[in-house]
A and B are shown apart, each in its own frame.
Chain A
Amino acid sequence: MTVTVSASGLTLRYGGTVALDDVALRLEEGITGLLGPNGAGKTTLLRVLATAVPADRGAFTVLGHDPGTAAGRLAVRRTLGYLPQNPGFHPDFTAFAFVDYVAILKELTDRAARHREVRRVLAEVDLADVRGRRIKRLSGGMRQRVALAAALVGDPRFLVLDEPTAGLDPEQRMRFRELITRTGEGRTVLLSTHQTEDVAMLCHRVIVMAGGHVRFEGTPAELTARAAGRVWSSAERDPGARAGWRTGAGAFRNVGDPPEGADLLEPTLEDGYLLTLDDTGAQAVTR
């Protein structure tokens, strides 16, 4: 499979804080999930890859273009669709007017061609019927879809989505997942999220970040497999467990190093994620 993004040694500091520390990764066609706790460096990594901020050190290419040069940066931006963590809207704009505005920023200056493209992307995110409605009158889920439509203008090959499902209710989240699956076909998508379900349902690869480092890179199945034999059930919370919580059935689900003869359970992606963080000392996993 073609490597779309290749990065090595990416390092970025905010004052005394190291947000990215020698990050290396490769992204291929398909959806890659980016998991990590708050402050892990996910948004910073996405902003660097989206060319919003330059890294202090390190380099990366997108489809062979080096954003370190002005020409390379322009080429990267022409292949890029970016949905930031807090996509901002001009609240008085309609959905159509806002996407039209972003289309102009993406160099679509011919009015007829631009409007065709705006209609196409709004239809792609199922917003054709509300295209004339002001953004401030749209629900949170619809606003996220407007932002996704804006990211899709110009049919980008590399999509960077920063926590697109945050703040959505379960029904909206499910609809948005369907959209991401659909729009991810034939593209390289980097999807930052706090939700392990997003990764389990959408992604063919997953990267776990903590403390500015990449802690894991592999398939969701490989991340889940990290917790094989390390999840068990008990009537009371096991004090030796790294994490433990009461389930709906009343028993405790423990994650860590099980005692002799423990009642082992089938691990989930979340178990693998929690253990990856805990194994690297990135986060004390207690609930």
Chain B
Amino acid sequence: MSGDTNPRQTWHLAEEDLRAYDRGELAPPLLWSADAHLAGCAECRVRLAGLADPAVLDAGWARLDAELDAPRPSLLERLLLRCGVADHTARLLAATPVLRRSWLLAVTAVLVMTVAASDALRQADSPTLFLALAPLLPLAGVALAYGPVCDPAYEMAVVAPLHGFRLVLVRTVAVLAVGLGMNGLATLALPGYGLRALAWLLPALALTATGLALTPRLGAVLAPALTGGGWIALLAVAATGRHGDATLPPFTAAGQGAAAAVAALAVVLLVHLRDRFDFAADRTAPTGGPYGGTP
């Protein structure tokens, strides 16, 4: 609506129509008539402004104000917003390096190759190569989601009022959801193994929880590296003692039970150590390139 009152304006909107218009309850064709009239009648616009609830008007302006400079959300953010995630949480997740396209493409490529190799070999009772690798991907993803090495704004995040453990949890849940989802899709590509192809799930949870629980003491790089190394060493030892094509112990029922127990213990330890995430994981002075943090 623009301009002053048309000098040839000879009529004005009725009070009750204006109120209905303000409430959004005026129906066509009266609504179209009111729209056209308000565009040319400053007097009726003033009357309409007088009817509106100031609090509602202020809220409307605030909403408009907020949208003026709002950056265009990334694809990931738009997806999260569509899923009902709050806008501030979506922004926190958008700053998670491993939720970006390059990481997701790399993980997809690794999974496709591993599944193809496992399917092609089909020598053993279970797709060992896939089961060995799949738990490492969520571990690596979570490790790369937080910490001075991968989060360029880590130092600012550490001293912010938002509790460090909360930020870790938000990102862990998001990365786990994506990582486990991708692993799950890869599992579907190995239908010949049935449920045995899902034997990566509990080890994945155990490794991720253990890596996180060790982070306050060992740092954001060493903790997941040692955890992943331990997993590989365990598999190597198990493979050495294997008889024929038997399933490796970590992927048997007993092994799955042990993985569940380790995961539960690590979660308890993690909760116990939650305040340790309130400080920088690395006590040495940070170094970085022009964007910081990047080694």
Contacts and interface: CB of A to CB of B under 8 A. Distances in A.
B280 A47 contact: yes
B240 to A, nearest CB: 37
Contact of A73 (B278, B285, B288): B278
Contacts of B232: none
Contacts of A78: 161
B65 A88 contact: no
Interface stretch (B146-154, B177-185, B200-208): B146-154
Contacts of B283: 12, 14, 53
B66 A52 contact: no
Contacts of A143: 290
B253 interface: no
A101 B70 CA distance: 12
A53 B279 contact: yes
Contacts of B255: none
Interface string B9-29: 000000000000000000000
Interface in A62-108: 70, 73-74, 77-78, 80, 82, 84-94, 96-98, 100-102, 104-107
Interface stretch (A115-123, A168-176, A198-206): A115-123
A97 B88 CA distance: 11
Contacts of A107: 160-162
B287 interface: yes
Interface size bucket, B side? 35 or more
Interface string B253-295: 0000000000000000000000100111001111111111110
A52 B158 contact: yes
B8 interface: no
Contacts of B278: 70, 73
A86 B92 contact: no
B280 A52 contact: yes
B146 to A, nearest CB: 13
A249 interface: no
A94 B291 contact: no
B53 interface: no
Given A88-B156, A102-B156, 10 more contacts: A73-B278, A82-B156, A88-B154, A100-B91, A106-B161, A107-B160, A111-B66, A115-B65, A115-B69, A119-B69
